[in-house]
Structure formats: C-alpha cells, structure tokens
C-alpha cells in the first residue's frame, strides 16, 4: 500500500474516485484474474525449477530472478513504452513482479509435494549448469 499513491499518479489516475469509475466500487475481476494468473505462474515456475535439476531455495531465487528479467521486466518495459507511461510506473510494476517471482522461487522448493515429478539428469550445459552446482 505504500506505493499506491505513486502507482496511481504514474498510471494517470488523479483520484481514487476517478479510478473506481461511476459505480464507486472496486471490481473483483482484477483480483480473480491475478490469483489465477499467479497460480499458473507458480506451477510453471515450479516445473522449471524441477526441470533444471537441483531443487533448493537458492536455485529457486535465481530461477525466479532469471524468469523475471527475461520475460516479465522486458515485457512490462516494452508495453509501458508503447503506452507512453513513465519509467516510475515501470519500476513499480516490475518491482512488484520481481517480488512475486522471488517469493515463488524461494517457497516452491520447500513444498516438494506440489513440485512436478522429474527424473531428468543434471544439466551439462546452458543456464541449468549455473543453477545445479
């Protein structure tokens, strides 16, 4: 909540009332979509961590960071540039998703029941080598 006012300003909203629209109520739809999307992200991040070999909190954090940098931060940056949004919004949004992916990466290895089963060998080349040492 500490970044709600800077986020609203960077998004172009002048007031909470303007953001809520004529109903004056918060729609549950964005929260439902966010919840479902984060479940999908967590499942596939867990699969990626398992696929890369050694499942640990450290490897989960590194994998979460790489996924964020390669896919999330780049996508948000491109979208915000086309939408002509300020870099401050990009920093807030990308920072939020960095926290989400680092949290998922750190926590999934602790929940081995939910990790997809894998019988893959340790990687010998590529980014997995860095993660499985």
Q: What is the C-alpha separation between 133 and 131, in angstroms, rounded?
A: 6
| Residue 35 within any structural domain of the chain | yes
69: containing domain: 29-131
- Domains in the chain, number: 1
- The pLDDT value recorded for residue 111 is 63
Place of tokens 């964020």: 68
Helix (H, G, I), strand (E, B) or coil at 1: coil
- The pLDDT value recorded for residue 103 is 94
- The pLDDT value recorded for residue 23 is 83
86: Cα within 13 Å, side-chain hemisphere: 11
- The pLDDT value recorded for residue 115 is 44
φ, ψ for residue 54, nearest 5 deg: -65, 115
52 contacts 128 by C-beta, under 8 angstroms: yes
- The pLDDT value recorded for residue 120 is 46
| Residue 77 within any structural domain of the chain | yes
| Residue 106 within any structural domain of the chain | yes
Cβ density class 36-70: b for 16+ within 10 Å, e for less: eeeeebbeebbebbbebbebeeebbbbbbebbbee
| Residue 39 within any structural domain of the chain | yes
| Residue 102 within any structural domain of the chain | yes
| Residue 47 within any structural domain of the chain | yes
Q: What is the C-alpha separation between 92 and 78, in angstroms, rounded?
A: 15
| Residue 56 within any structural domain of the chain | yes
Residues of the chain with pLDDT under 70: 1, 109, 111-133
What is the pTM for the complete model shown? 0.75
**For residue 113, what are the CA distances in angstroms to 5, 8, 46, 60?**
40, 39, 11, 16
| Residue 10 within any structural domain of the chain | no
């Amino acid at each position: 909540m500490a970044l709600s006012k800077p986020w609203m300003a960077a998004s172009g909203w002048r007031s909470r009332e303007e953001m809520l629209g004529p109903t004056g109520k918060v729609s549950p739809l964005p929260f439902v979509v966010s919840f479902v999307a984060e479940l999908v992200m967590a499942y596939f991040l867990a699969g990626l961590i398992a696929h890369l070999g050694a499942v640990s909190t450290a490897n989960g954090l590194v994998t979460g960071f790489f996924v964020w940098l390669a896919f999330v931060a780049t996508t948000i940056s491109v979208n915000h540039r086309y939408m002509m949004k300020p870099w401050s919004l990009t920093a807030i949004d990308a920072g939020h998703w960095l926290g989400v992916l680092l949290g998922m990466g750190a926590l999934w290895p602790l929940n081995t029941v939910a990790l997809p089963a894998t019988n893959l060998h340790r990687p010998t080349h590529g980014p997995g080598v860095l993660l499985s040492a």
